[in-house]
Structure 1
Amino acid sequence: MKGYFLLFGFLLASVASAADRPPNLVVILADDVGYMDLASYAARVREVPTSELYYETPSLDRMAAEGLSFTQFYVNPLCSPTRASLLTGKWAAPMGFTTATPSSVTTYYNQGLEPPSGYHEQDVVRHRDRIDQQQALLNARTLTALPSGRSQDHGRNEVSLAEALPTYHSAFLGKWHVGGHGALGYQPSDQGFQSLAYYDSGSSPYFRWRPLWSRERLVFSKMRQKKLMWGNPGPETGQEYLTDDLAEQAATFIKGRALKPDQPFLLWFAHFACHAPIEAKPEMIAAFDARGAIEDDGRSNSTYAAMLKSLDQSVGRIMKELRDTGQAENTVVVFLSDNGGVDWLEGGPTSNAPLKGGKATLFEGGIRVPMIVWAPGRDGIAQGGALCNKAVHGVDLYPTLTALAGAKPTPEIDGESFATLLKDPTGKTPGYNRLKMYWHYPFNVDVPHPEDRQPLTPHSAIRSGAYKLIVDWHGRLRLYNIEEDMREEHDLSEKEADRAKRMFAELCDWLDKNVDERYMPKKNPKYDAKEDPREYPFKDLRKELLGKAGFEG
């Protein structure tokens, strides 16, 4: 009997100590997955059962049913700015991340050029889409690598989430895309992570990817390094499809951490799914083709549906491994996407309807994404299908996770913890006070504007309370009450002109104070308004509305 009580006491102590320990953290970051791609989100918005939807996401639906879903979670319109912001808790544009770039982009570093005074050598020399029509503004620049404290960073050293959690074992898996496309000194291991497997690029093939991820031959010969640090595919898993392979590597890592319960872990799992190329397992595609078409607001691409289902299965694999190894009770899992879905290519591949726009736009379809928190054994985190309808920005995830871990982020961050919303999703409990959100995308892009189908011009946006103002720097404003009009069908910029002007002034003030001039668009001296096919003329809104200095050539 004495032995029984000793054993019982040991078990009680073990449970208590587990509850007192900082939680393990798993962040699953999907790529180009839109708000309406998850069945649980689409069913709620459309008010239909999931059986009437084309996409199948049962694991994520279960995660939502058991966890806490955020209905107004915001990120940037493209992946690199979102990734930089999530990893550092800072606004992307002030750091220099204004867009995502392909591996062919030229930077001062990879061209062996001395950057202009004040520039970073990982800034692009130029970046532009091929657009065969008049452009009133010239593209800004963007940074391609998170500064890591190297001599060429000139005192800049962005503190990653891994570095903010020194007592954690932090591992990175998947898509990096903030390392200068294989530049030495800017990869996951330089930001505090153990690199399980990664690729520092915007996209990857889903079949036969390993040779590409293992490439060491320099893309640009003037890079000051002997070999390209483009990636590492990790050990063979026997899986032929990338999403399955990464899930297997994640499960192996989680299983290994169960043997070391005294140290909490952070797993940053950044999928490539569902970014192009649109490739899926043939048997899954065939299964969706066999189902036939379902009327679901343009969501009918069987290959994309199969990609999404593989992504969903990977989430189920993670949840199962956590349960099987007894770690679910002390783990917080966060699922989110880096931007909205791609809805502007011919044939999809997906649709964000009824949200307006998609990836690369500042409409809701481009920046509002699904976000679910699953923590089955943690007190202080709402579960059981709870919903949070408060507007939250991805910049705030970093301080929230550090708060859960009992760590303190660096004071220089822009984010603020929304941990109180995890406990009280209604927001009645004081603690989260995000009043403003900002976006800045200063590029002409070969992506059709959802209103006139013309190529996108440089845009910025601000959200203040219920209202969001989108500034098209070619010369127009759009103001929406998002709480009442999530579809952005009713532009209030004329009806509430004073509010629009006030928010525009706030946005300009923020840009002036925080965003370097090189990350702002410039006036194009060769612009010919007579040859511009747009139905609205170019207007320098700063001069017209605020009487301030406008764009300079």
Structure 2
Amino acid sequence: MQKLTFILLFTIVFFSAKATLLAQAKNSKPNIIIVFTDDQGYQDVGVFGAPSINTPNLDKMAENGIKFTDFYSASSVCSPSRAALLTGSYPNRVGVPQVLWSNLSGGLSNEETTIANMLKKQNYATACIGKWHLGDKQEYLPTSQGFDMYYGIPFSNDMSVNPKSKIAKNIVFREGMTLDSLRDNKWRAGRVPLLQQDEVIEYPVDQSRITQRYTEQALNFIKQNKNEHFFLYLAHSMPHIPLYASANFKGKSKRGLYGDAVEEIDWSVGEILKTLMEEGIDENTLVIFTSDNGPWTSRGVNGGSALPLRGQKNETFEGGFRVPMIAQWNGEIKPASVSDKVISTIDVLPTVAYLTGADLPEYKIDGKNVWPILSGKQNKKSPHKKEGFFYYKDFNLEAVRQGDWKLRIIKDDVALYNLKDDISEQINLASTYPKKVKKLKKLMLDFDEELQKNKRNQKHLRSK
């Protein structure tokens, strides 16, 4: 009897301990949410100095987490910046050096390992909601790139539908459009489709409600997968032009329609953070907020602000590449942290791999695990301080940052800036520090030579 009791107690203890360890192992892997906006400038968040745009939810997120003053997208335009984020590599390495237009061949090769591919192997549920812009042919859509679910506009919201798109049986046509007009191959700027999985479900989509609808889909995904691990990539179509905001936000911002669009995105972030708390998973979820590239300042009132930085999207000045970034993970990221360490979107994939125990791709990537910096708990050096951070425009490497120094070379125009003393890139020190120019130029040449030798999937470049 005593022996039987002992065996029973041992069995109970053993399986209880095993269940506890399994629960701990499960909880040790965080959910991942990336909120990626479109053309939102460095200054266009309250905690980054926005003078007339209210972003209380993002400001609160910074209070609860960490704000980065020197965070970089790996491109100053849409498609390359997204390729870099999802693959952990400079866009030129993975065959997406330029913007991909709708209805053109080309896209991010599905031979690449995206964050979604990587986390699927860890049994994560994966969703892409919003702007994709990495190819709108079937083979390039999110459902072919590791995502279980896709809901969104497959490219920039100023483009036109691909007439070869797959059409849902219950498609909703608006604004007098028909199946014939969808198929007629006429360019209708701003009349873009809404896709669910790989089918067009609405054409043209009602963009005034697009941020709201993306948010509804995101909250549903979170609630449906709250008891599992999940990866949510929420890529807003705003505040890229044409600008839209729903009735609850239109006309409310002091910054006009651009501000309305940003304030609605801020609301969206607030809804996500509130839902995480209500579902009891905020302490097991890493949330990252950033922008794909700098603002379209040449659009005037319809563009954002990169102040005090110089430049805009499609340029290799700081205003094109340096973007706002805030991260929150309650209990894991030190609250109210601020970091000036140079990190980039290319660092997201390897950092997520570290946090989830996922395997990195077998081929070379450019990003590094920056969790010691991201957590705000350790004053680690940037992994790019010695190696440098590189600024590509289209097929050309135009600039490098190493520490506080930045060298920018366009043909015969050579400019050297000390970003610590001259954040606005106004004082060219090239003639004062010729040795520094020589050193950084060699760093650029050596890196570009390596990348050109080891770049992948160039057959997937779009037609010119």
Letter aligned with residue 220 of structure 2: T
Amino acid at match of 1:403: Y
Q: 1:490 to 1:314 in 2, by over 3 A?
A: same
SS of 1:87's partner is helix
Q: 3-state SS of the aligned residue for 2:324?
A: strand
Name whichever of 342-351 and 328-337 sits farther off: 342-351
- Residue 171 of structure 1, aligned match among 123, 127, 136: 127
Gaps of 5+ in 1: 1-5, 44-52, 108-121, 123-144, 149-156, 221-227, 292-299, 444-457, 520-553
Q: Which residue does the alignment assign to 2:410?
A: 472
Q: For residue 421 of structure 1, what is the aligned residue in structure 2? A: 373
SS in 2 for 1:241: helix
How many Å separate the matches in 1 of 2:48 and 2:314? 21
Q: 2:263 aligns with which of 309, 313, 318?
A: 309
Specify the code of the residue in structure 2 equivalent to 1:497. Answer: P
2:360 aligned residue (390, 393, 409): 409
| TM-fit CA distance, 1:467 | 1.0
Number of residue pairs matched by the alignment? 411
2:449 is the alignment partner of 1:512: yes
CA deviation after TM superposition for structure 1 residue 14, in Å: 10
Whether the aligned pair in 2 keeps the contact of 1:78 and 1:100 (CA below 8 Å) is: yes
Deviation digits for residues 341-365 of structure 1, max 9, x if unmatched? 1111243522222210111111111
Alignment equivalent of 2:350, drawn from 370, 376, 399: 399
What TM-score do the two structures reach when normalised by structure 2?
0.80
Instruction: Work out which of the residue numbers 42, 63, 69 in structure 1 matches 2:67.
Output: 69
More helix by share: 2
Q: Take 2:178 and 2:151, find their aligned partners in 1: how far apart are those partners? A: 10
Contact 2:257 2:302 in 1 (8 A): no
Q: Which residue of 2 aligns with 1:31?
A: 38
| Paired residues for 1:169-208 under 5 Å | 169-179=125-135, 182-203=136-157
Structure 2 residue identity aligned to 1:41: F
| Contact 2:243–2:302, Cα closer than 8 Å, also in 1 | no
1:493 and 1:430 map into 2 onto residues whose CA distance is 25
- Specify the alignment match of 1:58 in structure 2: 56
1:94 aligns with 2:32: no
Change (3 A) 1:86 1:442: closer
Equivalent residues of 1:88, 1:160 under 8 A apart: yes
Q: 1:320 aligns with which of 241, 262, 274?
A: 274
2: distance between equivalents of 1:286 and 1:459? 41
1:481 maps onto 2:418 in alignment: yes
Report what 1:389 is aligned to: 340
How far is the alpha carbon of 1:508 from its aligned partner?
Answer: 2.2
Please state if 1:255 is matched with 2:220: no
- The aligned residue for residue 388 of structure 2 is 436
Task: Give 3-state SS (helix, strand or coil) of 1:60's partner.
Answer: helix
Give the partner amino acid of 1:146: L
> Does the C-alpha gap of structure 1 residues 509 and 431 become closer, same or farther in structure 2, counting only changes over 3 Å?
closer
1:417–1:432 contact (8 Å) kept in structure 2: no
The answer as to whether partners of 1:171 and 1:267 remain within 8 angstroms in 2 is yes
- 1:130-189 Cα shifts (integer Å, max 9, x gaps): xxxxxxxxxxxxxxx1111xxxxxxxx10111111212111111111112xx21211111
Identity %: 30
Distance 1:314 1:83 in 2: 20
Report the Cα offset of residue 505 of structure 1: 2.5
Question: For 1:196, what is the secondary structure of its paired residue?
Answer: strand
Whether the aligned pair in 2 keeps the contact of 1:36 and 1:351 (CA below 8 Å) is yes
CA-CA distance at 1:268 after TM superposition: 0.8
- Contact preservation (8 Å) 1:96, 1:515: no
Q: Deviations over 1:243-293 (max 9, x none)?
A: 0110011001111112xx1x31111111111111022235634333xx5xx
Aligned-residue CA RMSD (Å)? 3.4
Distance apart, 1:490 and its partner CA: 1.4
Residue 21 (1) aligns with residue 28 (2): yes
- For 2:357 and 2:388, how far apart are their aligned partners in 1? 26
The SS at the match of 1:512 is: helix
Q: For the residues of structure 1 that align with 2:259 and 2:399, how far apart are their CA atoms? A: 31
Matching residue within 193, 214, 217 for 1:246: 214
- The corresponding residue for 1:536 is none
Q: 1:33 is matched by which residue type in structure 2? A: Q
Alpha-carbon offset, residue 439 of structure 1: 1.8
